[in-house]
Chain A
Amino acid sequence: MSFKTKLLGMAAACVVTAGAVNAQALVYCSEGSPEGFDPALYTSGTTFDASSHPIYNRLVEFKVGTTEVIPALAESYEVSEDGMTVTFTLRQGVSFHSNANFTPTRDFNADDVIFSFDRQGNPDNPYNQVSGGTWEYFGGMSMPDLIESIEKVDDYTVAFHLTRPEAPFIANMAMDFASIVSKEYADAMLEAGTPEMLNQDPIGTGPFTFQAYQKDAVIRYLRNDSYWGDPALVEALIFAITPDASVRYQKIQAGECHVMAYPNPADIEAMQADEDAVVLEQEGLNVGYLAYNTQVAPYDNPDVRRALNMAIDKQAIIDVVFQGSGQIAKNPIPPTMWSYNEATVDDAYDPEAAAAMLAEAGVEDLSMKIWAMPVQRPYNPNARRMAELMQADFAEIGVDVEIVSYEWGEYLDRSKDVDRDGAVLLGWTGDNGDPDNFLAVLLGCDGVGGSNRAQWCYEPFEDVIQAAKTESDQAARAALYEEAQTIFKEQAPWATIAHSVVFMVTRPEVEGYVVHPLGGHIFNQVGLN
């Protein structure tokens, strides 16, 4: 046993926590610092890993490792016949954590649920402006338009009255922004004149209690021994913030951490051969695409779009850009999502046929722009390289490509223009595991001039996704979404490029870690052998 492994063993055996000694600490080498600890205020996965997963619960949650929604702080829920009211029956006997400034005097109840949402949507709520509250996800998931009112039926029953039937609402309630905070704590902090403590020294009902955060260095949690669900397997959880991926790997090898996020794709092969590391993988819930502007000639012709799609050698992109850590995308939703249409056939890579199709459509000497994102994303680790490969592919069928790029904020903004010149490389990572979150957001008529970068509003497709939105029967919804994918493939508003594969690396002594398709890193069920 090396010196460092002994050290980690010591850490696992005796985490000295301000005097108290705990057995079993799990050390997670995370990739960055959380922006804060109130998940409703933020949008980044790094923040959710450090806040909503260990500290909080939601009314319903995603079963770890799946996109299936299961009861959590709500024991059950009921959707009214007309789909306009969703009534949650709350779990009783759930207690909030305590800290140096606060000890709860009552259990979790309906007031906490109402407060958690009211502060995000009601400008008169004293917490609406605290910590510069911008409530991006609450707004982004259309909650202000969707929720008409929230009614406290009794202490343990809450009814959400909606402005329209919306099937994905339940999945939205499992998202991080819907984490339940303590109204009693919020009131106490407001009275003490320190409302920002809700974000800085968080109190939740989750499997771990927050202990301390040293900015950009370490976050510490202790097991919540009075947790309402299955208690966490380790007594302490430590996030060692380690921004560099190569250094994270060195720390795994040296035994300084048990689990690491986001390995370098180039290191995966070495890690798989390393006896100090276990590599886990799963398809990410994302898609990378090239969106044509379907409102501008000649891209308003589906035949032209399909011809261009057929000229792209996607396998080469997977090999070069993703270095193997991706898979070819044929549908606009990832294969891990329910309703994924297995039957669709991807456009075959056939430059000759593509050139013939273009000629048939009367397109000659075409020159176009491809927009390459300036940032790295899971669905596109190197957009510039991807654009260069496409440039070479298109040159083979006589299409001249100019690659353009802008600063990220500009890129996002300019690519929304309805009369934009050129096809845009972009992608999406799912929020709630619901196909509506991909198909309606990215391809629906409402998104034209916004998140629908193809500027594609196609009535038959729109009718199907709108029907699916209001249908409450899951099987019927799945059938509608499958049909939507068929229409998408015929019309080809995008070239679907890839779904990334997410890798996680653990040490051999780690048990029970599951890669979560929604991208979060969750440690309640993780133990050390």
Chain B
Amino acid sequence: MLKYIASRLLTFVPTFIGVTLISFAFIRMLPGDPIIVMAGERGMTEERYAELVTQYGYDRPILTQFWDYLTGVLQGDLGTSFVTKKPVWDEFFALFPATLELSICAMVFAIMLGLPAGVIAAVNRGKFFDRTLMSTALIGYSMPIFWWALLLIIIFSGTLQWTPVSGRIDLIYYFPNATGFMLYDALMSGQSGALWSAIRHLILPTIVLGTIPLAVIARQTRSAMLEVLGEDYIRTARAKGMSPNRVNAIHALRNALIPVVTVIGLSVGTLLAGAILTETIFSWPGIGKWMVDSIFRRDYPVVQGGLLLIAVMVMIVNLTVDVLYGIINPKIRKR
């Protein structure tokens, strides 16, 4: 198993270098000069412009800039934001826990509902349950996030007043955000009602962000289950008199999980893309909105550093998925 993990880790190196190069090149390929954008309609004199270009180091050859960036990255220095003048690293870790907390909740929500839905649909193939669940999943998959979020806010926060409109916790609670994970910080604050308030604030964003992965997981589970249910060993298990629930849960589901785990791993990218919209609507202080704002402001250090860190996260998730394959199917790790 260790050898398997080590071989997976080795593939990290070229990917990491590639991502560093792409993230550096990506923002520079976009038209628009960060210094002119910063000055806006007011503009600036040519001397002032030249001064700033020198101050930010953009008059140096592009290869020198890349080399400096790369050596900085290897030493753990991602640069300083043009706009807030704070280190990219600090900004990322101030915001990332919010995105992570939301993403984990959304993923748990998607898996908890998506897996059983897919299994039930497969077992009841062609029947009422199957058709209803799969049509609902298709609707969920096609739903524009922005519209879906506003609809939920209007119904549950506006009309029914069951959930708060946006934010992470009611403003009456104020305590230091020690870890940035609101559920944990609220629990540790000892302020009565803080945890409940944080949970209530998580409900709608979790549903919105989890909807597309939920639909994908449900559909994938259904088709993988259907495939497995047609296998000989399932018929054998049934013939041996094993209860249908046991056959479905132990023999069928475990073997159907490989493609499902793959989809879950791939959903992390979707989740981060969805986080951008979800975070904007629910005023959720995470990295999605931070990245979008930075792209508009051409904040080079934030965009390249943020992209790199997000890419590393996705790589780690994919590594985890690879390891999970090995656990689910021992044949894979022996190859």
Q: How large is the interface on A (under 10, 10 to 19, 20 to 34, 35 or more residues)?
A: 35 or more
List the 4 shortest-distance A-B pairs measured between CB atoms, nearest first. A216-B285, A409-B32, A217-B285, A131-B85
Interface positions, chain B 261-288, Cβ under 8 Å from A, are 280-283, 285-286
Hey, which bits of chain A sit against chain B, CB under 8 A? Answer: 2-4, 7, 10-11, 14-18, 25, 27, 32-33, 35-36, 41, 43, 131-132, 134, 136, 139-140, 196, 199-200, 212, 214-218, 220, 238, 240-244, 246-247, 250-251, 253-254, 256, 406-410, 412-413, 416, 426-429, 450-451
**What B residues does A256 contact at CB under 8 A?**
164-167, 171
The verdict on B255 contacting chain A, using a C-beta distance below 8 Å, is no
A218, B33: Cα distance in complex, Å = 31
A217–B283 touching, CB < 8 Å: yes
A413–B36 touching, CB < 8 Å: yes
Known contacts being A215-B285, A240-B167, is A246 close to B150, with CB within 8 Å?
yes
**What A residues does B91 contact at CB under 8 A?**
215
A244–B171 touching, CB < 8 Å: no
A11–B31 touching, CB < 8 Å: no
**What A residues does B167 contact at CB under 8 A?**
217-218, 240, 242, 256
B82–A250 touching, CB < 8 Å: no
The verdict on B174 contacting chain A, using a C-beta distance below 8 Å, is yes
**What A residues does B165 contact at CB under 8 A?**
247, 250-251, 254, 256
Hey, which bits of chain B sit against chain A, CB under 8 A? Answer: 30-34, 36-45, 48, 52, 55, 80, 82-86, 91, 94-95, 98, 150, 153-154, 157-158, 161, 164-168, 170-177, 191, 280-283, 285-286, 289-290, 293, 298
Q: Shortest Cβ distance from A369 into chain B, in angstroms?
A: 18
A254–B52 touching, CB < 8 Å: no
A247, B282: Cα distance in complex, Å = 8
Q: Which residue of B lies closest to A427 (CB)?
A: B41
Q: Which residue of B lies closest to A35 (CB)?
A: B83
Question: What are 30 A-B residue pairs whose CB atoms fall within 8 Å in the complex?
Answer: A11-B172, A15-B174, A18-B174, A25-B171, A32-B293, A35-B84, A36-B85, A43-B42, A134-B55, A196-B85, A199-B85, A215-B94, A216-B95, A216-B290, A238-B171, A240-B167, A240-B283, A241-B283, A241-B285, A246-B150, A247-B166, A247-B283, A250-B154, A254-B165, A410-B33, A410-B36, A412-B37, A413-B36, A426-B41, A427-B41
**What B residues does A251 contact at CB under 8 A?**
165-166
A199, B95: Cα distance in complex, Å = 19
A250, B204: Cα distance in complex, Å = 14
B283–A7 touching, CB < 8 Å: no
A451–B36 touching, CB < 8 Å: no
A134, B286: Cα distance in complex, Å = 28
**What B residues does A17 contact at CB under 8 A?**
174
**What A residues does B41 contact at CB under 8 A?**
412, 426-429, 451
A41–B39 touching, CB < 8 Å: no
A450, B52: Cα distance in complex, Å = 18
Known contacts being A132-B85, A251-B165, is A243 close to B174, with CB within 8 Å?
no
Q: Shortest Cβ distance from B36 into chain A, in angstroms?
A: 4
**What A residues does B43 contact at CB under 8 A?**
412, 416, 450-451
**What B residues does A33 contact at CB under 8 A?**
293
Q: Shortest Cβ distance from B279 into chain A, in angstroms?
A: 8
B42–A408 touching, CB < 8 Å: no
**What A residues does B44 contact at CB under 8 A?**
136, 139-140
**What B residues does A199 contact at CB under 8 A?**
85
A238, B172: Cα distance in complex, Å = 10
Q: Which residue of A lies closest to B56 (CB)?
A: A132
Q: Shortest Cβ distance from A9 into chain B, in angstroms?
A: 10
B281–A244 touching, CB < 8 Å: yes
**What B residues does A428 contact at CB under 8 A?**
41
B82–A407 touching, CB < 8 Å: no
A243–B283 touching, CB < 8 Å: yes
**What A residues does B31 contact at CB under 8 A?**
406-407, 409-410
A220, B177: Cα distance in complex, Å = 14
**What B residues does A416 contact at CB under 8 A?**
43
A35, B299: Cα distance in complex, Å = 12
**What A residues does B168 contact at CB under 8 A?**
217
Known contacts being A36-B85, A244-B281, A451-B43, is A410 close to B150, with CB within 8 Å?
no
